Amino acid sequence: MSFESLGLRTELLRAVSEKGYSAPTPIQTQAIPPILEGRDIMGGAQTGTGKTAGFTLPLLQRLMSSGIPTKGRRPVRALVLTPTRELAAQVSESVVTYGKHLPLRSTVVYGGVSINPQKQKLIKGVDILVATPGRLLDHVGQRSVDLSKVDILVLDEADRMLDMGFIRDIRKVLALLPRHKQTLLFSATFSNEIKKLSNELLKSPVLIEVAQQDITAELVTQVIHPVDKSRKRELLSYLVGSNNWKQVLVFTRTKHGANRLSQQLIKDGILAAAIHGNKSQGARTRALAEFKAGKVRVLVATDIAARGLDINQLPHVVNFELPNIAEDYVHRIGRTGRAGNEGEAMSLVCVDEHNLLKDIERLIKRDIPKDVIEGYEPDPSIKAEPINKGRGRQQQKAGRPGQKRSGGDNAASPWSNQRQSFKGRSNNQNRSRNQSQNRTRRNTQRAA
């Protein structure tokens, strides 16, 4: 199938051709026709599947079909909400790229930068607005934007917005929109919360699910490197140096951990930079630009900062620390293996993280191969310790009375026998982890 067969305008086909694309991806093939018909969409697709173009191209065409206002300030007719600054910038870039031969205006607003230049663009009038929820509500409060004329609403990576605690902000925005509009909801996972939100927002939606729920990209080779916690940085430097990796995206759990690791890598002679929520938008933009240009070899990021990063043909992703939330593993390794390219995802896993690993393997419904690097064999005598989740919080390890704790003082290292199955967590562990995750999400609500 070709883009021409999807019924797109000549100007859009020209922009797609100039971008170097000749055939639509599966989600584009499924999403573009019903969006052009004005249908609501509930789309499930992994990152790197062409989802952004899948809604951007028909959105531009529908706006052109309804005409361009010739008098007065242009009202916002299409609103795209994203969870992070980086994803907002990426979507905005796609709007500009595919709409460059059309007389439509667009802009993007997010926090971390001055609000005044954004206000000036909004006051002049735009057809398409890409925004993070918090900064959008700032503009609403300053009366620099009017959302009463929105015809198309896009919620991109809705699962992440809910994870970050944006549901209240989203509801505030929804209250400002017209009742009758076309709504497009895209999510990498279909949790119960997402299904509940879709039931509230969507009217007879077309369900598009290109890949099975929560399954990692097929072109990504995954491997676990068991290693002691104290030797992770040493092993990472060894892998980067011995394999002569030129571009590596590394994930840590915390902002402080990202800063510390990047500084340690620099001391090892590896050019590195860190991006996270405490960095200014200018610093994040510079670090990403240098990484893409090859000036920085390793980019160390937290989950929130990395969401929406679109790095062409990124070959390597490393989980320096496993995420506390299993779904974040899917999003992390989705930074590689994009647009038909192959990629590698490696995780450096210590004894403390065996429960997190089991959560991930249960989610993706497969065992990830384990490969012990010679010279970095984990010490089987080391006992598991509680995981520090940042800000002084630690993972609770308490089990039910009368039971031994998994990974506790009496537990042997899970790496002492590769064939031995990991022990399950207690119900109390699950409850304490969920409580800690909820606190973490509330604290990150304004990070984007």
The residue extents of the domains of the chain are 4-209, 220-443
Q: What is the pLDDT of residue 245?
A: 93
For the ranges 66-80, 205-219, 234-248, 430-444, the lowest mean pLDDT is seen at: 430-444
- CA distances in angstroms from 285 to 80, 130, 274, 331, 438, listed in the order given: 21, 17, 11, 20, 29
Q: Is the pLDDT of residue 318 over 60?
A: yes
Q: Is the pLDDT of residue 440 over 80?
A: no
Per-residue pLDDT reduced to its tens digit, 142-187: 999 999 999 999 999 888 888 788 899 999 999 999 999 999 999 8
Q: Is the pLDDT of residue 421 over 50?
A: no
CATH class of the domain comprising 4-209: alpha beta
| Separation of CA 22 from chain center | 26
Position 437 confidence tier, pLDDT thresholds 50, 70, 90: low
Q: What is the pLDDT of residue 189?
A: 73
When pLDDT is averaged across residues 404-418 and rounded to a whole number, the result is 41
Per-residue pLDDT reduced to its tens digit, 179-214: 999 999 998 777 788 888 889 899 999 998 775 444
When pLDDT is averaged across residues 25-45 and rounded to a whole number, the result is 92
Q: Is the pLDDT of residue 391 over 50?
A: no
Cα(304)–Cα(290) distance, rounded to whole angstroms?
A: 20
Per-residue pLDDT reduced to its tens digit, 242-279: 999 999 999 999 999 999 999 999 999 999 999 887 88
Q: Is the pLDDT of residue 284 over 70?
A: yes
Fold category of 220-443 in CATH: Rossmann fold (3.40.50)
Same fold, 4-209 and 220-443: yes
- Looking at per-residue pLDDT, the higher value among 403 and 182 belongs to 182
Q: Is the pLDDT of residue 215 over 60?
A: no
- Looking at per-residue pLDDT, the higher value among 218 and 88 belongs to 88
Q: What is the pLDDT of residue 298?
A: 95
